[in-house]
Amino acid sequence: MSDEQIDFVQGLVSELRRGTLTISVLSQLTSPKYGYALAETLEAKGVPIEPGTLYPLLRRLEKQGLLTSEWETAGTKPRKYYVLSGDGLNIYRQMCAEWKTMAENLNNLIEREEQ
């Protein structure tokens, strides 16, 4: 593959991934986590998100009422912990269902094509 093609594929992949960011983040926040710990967890599970993207996303999700946050000042450094709200949990479950159907349908399409 030429460099150009590689770039092109990477662009498409990151576009695909962008749509799944919210589900990825919500999935890890059934228990409270602070931003950097969340980034590390996601990376360890093979879904790396740049902190420069993750942190603003956490704010946005909080503003939309999917997450709640709390400053934890007991430790050595003050840290902001985020966790799913009631609404957030409902929405996360719905998103999971949507994702599964979408993935199934897409797999059907791809597999038909491969036969």
For other proteins, the binding residues (CB under 8 A) are: 34-36, 50-53, 55-56, 59-60, 77-80
Give me the residue label for tokens 């710990």: 37
Q: How many CA atoms lie within 13 A of 85 on its CB side?
A: 13
Task: Compute how many other C-beta atoms are within 10 angstroms of the C-beta atom of residue 66.
Answer: 24
Q: How far is the CB of 39 from other proteins (least distance, A)?
A: 9
d(CA 100, CA 5): 29
Alpha helices of 28-85 — where are they, by DSSP H? 35-44, 51-63
Classify the C-alpha dihedral 55-36-45-32 as positive or negative.
negative
Q: How far is the CB of 41 from other proteins (least distance, A)?
A: 13
Nearer to other proteins, 79 or 89 (CB): 79
Nearer to other proteins, 81 or 92 (CB): 81
Q: How far is the CB of 34 from other proteins (least distance, A)?
A: 7
Nearer to other proteins, 36 or 99 (CB): 36
Q: How far is the CB of 110 from other proteins (least distance, A)?
A: 33
Nearer to other proteins, 60 or 93 (CB): 60
Cβ atoms of residues 79 and 34 within 8 Å: yes
